[in-house]
Amino acid sequence: MSRLFGRLSRVRRPRAFARLSIRVFHGLFPRIDLAEAERSSRTDYASLQDFFTRSIRPEVRPLDPSPLVCSCDGAFGQAGAIESGTVLQAKGVPYAVAEFLQDPELAARLEGGAFCTIYLAPWNYHRVHHAISGEIVQARHMAGDLWPVNREAVEKVPGLFVRNERASVVLRTARGTCVAVMVGATNVGSILLRCAPDLGRGTTGAWAPDRPLAVEKGDELGVFELGSTVVLLVDRELRSALGGDDWPQVGLETRMGRALPLRR
């Protein structure tokens, strides 16, 4: 179903079909705000996917001076400490960081750090940005299923995030390590990473640049070609530098560029 929906979302001809699909989608999700988009008319988009992955004007997402900001629009899910190699998918539903990242060594380095989950709704802006300035040292694509990530599924399907397709980017910063993971879901079988655009398009597994790639807070990290969930993880050093003992409230809506409340 997800593959079929993906194909339909990319249809550009006949033009009447593309325009109809965009109009229907916007009608289903009227909270989509085209006033903030770089292209403010539905007729400016060539396909539903083009509409869904729309870019917005930079000035509508100013960056907070805080060193760590929200990497995307959405609503907060679970957040807290990384303890005993696990984090929470939902209250009482843990999952293993090593399985999630498919990298036991990286998971061990994150022990004692903190994590935060942000869910993207269909009406949200679906580009993901770097939460902190640093250097990209690794990226990875992990093949998997496309379970839905609605509240019922997250609360009832054990290891949901570990089972779904996902892509991660590891950032080395002056204060510690930050990992951003983009998690796919039903109708979200395509995740584009700016640093490694071939990952997930016939290529899976780990990738590393020839030399670390410098990025600034707010630079584009990737795009959900139909969207889902972002999980941010930081190590003990970065958590300590940020004073990380204050977790975001579950369900609270946020926007890319706002300060991430991972501090005292």
Q: Which of 217, 196, 78, 211 is nearest to 134 (CA)?
A: 217
Distance between CA atoms of 7 and 262, rounded to whole angstroms?
A: 39
Rounded alpha-carbon distances, angstroms, from residue 185 to 18, 58, 124, 172, 226: 23, 27, 15, 28, 9
Residues 168, 183: Cα–Cα separation, whole Å: 9
Catalytic residue among 47, 133, 190, 228: 228
CB neighbour class for 204 (10 Å; exposed up to 12, middle 13-18, buried from 19):
middle
H/E stretch holding 93 = strand 93-96
- For residues 64, 65, 70, 74, the Cα torsion angle rounded to the nearest 10 degrees is -10
The first and second tokens of residue 47, run together, are: 């396909």
Q: Which of 9, 47, 66, 129 is catalytic?
A: 129
For the record, the structure tokens of 174 come out as 């002056």
Is 40 one of the annotated active-site residues of the chain?
A: no
Token pair listed for 263: 């501090």
Of the residues 73, 103, 130, 235, which is catalytic? 73
Whether 240 is a known active-site residue: answer no
Output DSSP code: residue 150.
S
Q: Which residues contact 258 (CB under 8 A, 6 or more apart)?
A: 64, 69, 70
Active site residue 2: no
Of 2, 222, 195, 47, nearest to 125 by C-alpha is 222
| Pairing of the two strands 114-119 and 229-234 | antiparallel
**Residues designated catalytic:** 73, 129, 228
